[in-house]
Amino acid sequence: MPHTVEWTVRLHLVEDDEGTTTARVVLDTGSAAFTGHGAAHCHPADTNVPEIGDELAAGRAMNNLAQQLLDAGERDIDSVGASRSNTRQARGWLM
């Protein structure tokens, strides 16, 4: 049962004057849209390196999006009456 789709992902990053970077990642599947959010704040005593805030905020937004996708998948599994063994099994390094 071959299946190929293309989903569109857009990542928006904004840093404010206080050193807080916010991220919004939007996933469009063609039939649904998911939006993940994340933020990072530079401590006043630290050197402001915008790339670090971007990476942390984007990673947190993508992590939020991933959680939403896992939740949606589990709801879909439940709705068709299938068993869901190890749908949250982690691979690789723990976070």
Q: Which CATH class is domain 8-79?
A: alpha beta
Beta-strand runs (E) in the chain: 8-15, 20-28, 33-41
Instruction: Estimate to the nearest angstrom the gap between the alpha carbon of 23 and the chain centroid.
Output: 10
pTM of the model: 0.81
The b/e string for 33-61 (b: 16+ C-beta within 10 A; e otherwise) is ebebebebebeeeeeeeeeebbebbbebb
For the chain, which residues make up each domain, given as ranges?
8-79
Examine the pLDDT at 55 and tell me if it is beyond 70. yes
Token digits of residue 1: 């049962």
Banded pLDDT at 38 (limits 50, 70, 90): very high
Structure confidence by residue, pLDDT tens digits, 83-94: 656 555 554 434
